[in-house]
Structure 1
Amino acid sequence: MKRSGPLFTLLAGLLLALFMLSLNVTEGARSTSTGSESSGDVVSASPTPTASPPSGKPSASPSPSPSASKTAVPNADYAGRTDDDSSAVAVTLRDGKAVAYFCDGKDQESWLKGDVKADGSMRLTGQNGNVLTGELKGKRISGTVDMGQRKYGFTADKAVKPSGLYRATATVRGAEVDGGWIVLPSGQQVGILNRAGKPSPAPRIDPETGAVTVDGQKLTAEPVTP
């Protein structure tokens, strides 16, 4: 019995040591496992994309390109007299083009032509440096005709057929004939007939048909367009 006491004591101590060693190993394994799991979570986690906050400013839309507002120039005829009442002026507008006729009904005349701007202004030129400068406002063209030796102011109102500008060209008895007529709104006619370059007062035309007789030959004066 005396020998078995120390032996049991030694055996109990050995068992206690084995138990403590086993306990330490188990705790170490748990710590390692926990550390691995934590490390795996950090590596596999991907950052969550964050939406950029709205700026609060609406996107700027392109500003419309400015477009010049153009005044439409009507196709129409205009006829009137000079400010001194000595002569007549007629202007015909078609598609931005203009033709005009200045006439004193005796021996002075000029045919002029050119472009009409969108604002109704015009500068028409003729032979011998003659120039008509005018501007369309409403139903009236006002301006001047520079005939070189003299400048005439004029006003031409919108003409309603048969008022307007007429012309006839032909060969009569071997001579070149060129006639121009302005039929005013009042019915008055102002015109010049050139026979081989020699001007003289023109005979009256029938404003409804344009019929006219020159040296016994019947001609037709047609409305003038650019």
Structure 2
Amino acid sequence: MKPSGPLFTLLAGLLLGIFMLSLNATTGTKVKSSYDGATATPTPTAPASTPATSTTPPAAPSPTPTPAPDSAYAGRTADDTAAVSVSVRDGKAIGYFCDGRSQESWLKGDVEDDGSMRLTGENGARLDGVLRAGKIDGTVEIRDRTWQFSAAKAVRPSGLYRSTAEVRGAKIDGGWIVLPDGRQVGILNRDGKPAAAPRIDPASGAVVVDGTRLTARPVVP
């Protein structure tokens, strides 16, 4: 009996498939899908930027002003015709200008933290100075005349002294500047009349006026 057409075609296709499988096994060829094992390549990420660091150093703190030290200062005018003394305490100052004969002036005022001072007295008297490095340099203006002066730090018994009292019915007011070299410059007023002052004992401040013993004491503001 002769095989039919469709059966023959089926057998031919089967044989062809077996042949192709044998060929693939022999050559080792493997058909791979284009999606098999595909891995996405990550997109590179830009590194995060680092904040810029300032190289400017921090500002230094302002120095704290130092108050003027408490002390007395004594010296001479530049022309050596008079003496000047200033006593400083707690930012206050009392100054004294004296020529040892007839001209004198008491002055007072404040001392700034930078050492500058402006002291004023009667009849428009004025002392402008700066305390620096243990001495006061400045000017004194009295009755339209100006003197330059320099006053060094005074060590006892040098410094500024004053005595007020009533002796035999007269009002006594004396001022003394004891200089570092031991010299004394002072004026004694009797009822407002100036004259050269007698010497005081620097150790005790004792002084005799018209037969009466008085005590000149250090001047502090």
Q: Same fold (TM over 0.5)?
A: yes
Alignment partner of 1:199 is 2:194? yes
Counterpart CA distance in 2 for 1:112 and 1:72 is 20
Alignment partner of 1:78 is 2:110? no
Selected match of 1:119 from 97, 110, 114: 114
Indicate the residue corresponding to 2:126 in structure 1.
Answer: 131
Counterpart CA distance in 1 for 2:142 and 2:51 is 69
Moved over 4 A (4+): 55-58
Selected match of 2:220 from 207, 212, 225: 225
What are the equivalent positions in structure 2 for 1:112-191 lying under 5 Å apart?
Answer: 112-191=107-186
Counterpart CA distance in 2 for 1:205 and 1:68 is 43
Q: Any idea what the Cα deviations from partners look like across 1:140-181, whole Å, max 9, x if unmatched?
A: 100000002310000000010000000000000001000000
Q: State the secondary structure of the residue aligned to 2:123.
A: helix
Whether contact under 8 Å (2:73, 2:153) holds in the other structure is yes
What's the CA shift for 1:69? 2.1
- Tell me how many residue pairs correspond in the alignment: 169
| AA at the equivalent of 1:133 | D
TM-score, L = length of structure 2: 0.72
Q: State the secondary structure of the residue aligned to 1:128.
A: helix
Question: Structure 2 regions of 5+ residues with no counterpart?
Answer: 1-49
Selected match of 2:98 from 103, 113, 117: 103
What's the CA shift for 1:56? 6.5
| AA at the equivalent of 2:120 | T
Q: State the secondary structure of the residue aligned to 2:181.
A: coil
Indicate the residue corresponding to 2:204 in structure 1.
Answer: 209
What's the CA shift for 1:57? 9.2
| AA at the equivalent of 2:113 | A
Whether contact under 8 Å (2:107, 2:127) holds in the other structure is yes
Question: Structure 1 regions of 5+ residues with no counterpart?
Answer: 1-54
| AA at the equivalent of 1:108 | Q
Counterpart CA distance in 2 for 1:81 and 1:56 is 65
Higher helix share: 1
Q: Any idea what the Cα deviations from partners look like across 1:166-205, whole Å, max 9, x if unmatched?
A: 0000000001000000000000000000000000000000
CA RMSD of superposed structures (Å): 1.8
Q: Any idea what the Cα deviations from partners look like across 1:108-141, whole Å, max 9, x if unmatched?
A: 0000000000000000000000000000111110
